Amino acid sequence: MAKPMKEKYNKYWDNIENMNFKLHVAVVLDPRNKMCYLELIYGNNSTKTKTILEHVNKTLEDLFQHFKNKTERERREKTRSSSSSTPSYFDFGHGVDMEDNFERFMEQCRHGVNKIELEIYLSDGMEKWVEDFQILGWWKSNSTKFPVLSEVAKLVL
């Protein structure tokens, strides 16, 4: 009985090509675990662990980028619809959207100096293990600090 169980385990969890890294992302999105838990499960310095962590990071970055693009697209559509229906007091006749330009300017300023949301989340300390910890509640209360990542967490968790 143990042999077929071990074969199934190896098929889904020991073979990197067949792993579902979104399940690992769910572990990382628990603010009590983050990447440290995966290192504990797979061992600290093995090449397999490094490969798994790279895949998990890539999956998390892809999800983050997808939601970031979606959020920016929705914001632009909302800005267009609101600016077309209301007159702007700061219309200098150049068709310039001051809010949009300011947002782009701030993104450029932050690009080289500050970390992106995902890097900040991963580098922040982990939450303590308490009995009635509510992961989705944590993400909701931290959605202002991690607006895009909280949307990813809502979907994944």
- Would you state the pLDDT for residue 80? 74
- Would you state the pLDDT for residue 89? 47
Range list of H helices, the chain: 2-9, 21-28, 34-42, 47-85, 98-113, 117-123, 135-141, 147-156
pLDDT bracket for residue 75 (50, 70, 90): confident
Q: Which of 63-72, 82-91, 128-137 has the lowest average pLDDT? A: 82-91
- Would you state the pLDDT for residue 79? 74
pLDDT in tens, 33-61: 888 888 888 877 788 888 888 999 999 99
Average pLDDT value for residue range 103-132? 74
CB 133 within 8 A of CB 32: yes
pLDDT in tens, 80-114: 766 555 554 444 555 556 666 676 666 655 544 34
Q: What size, in residues, is the chain?
A: 157
At which residue do the structure tokens 């797979």 appear? 42
Angle at the Cα of 5 (from 4 to 10), degrees rounded to 5?
A: 95
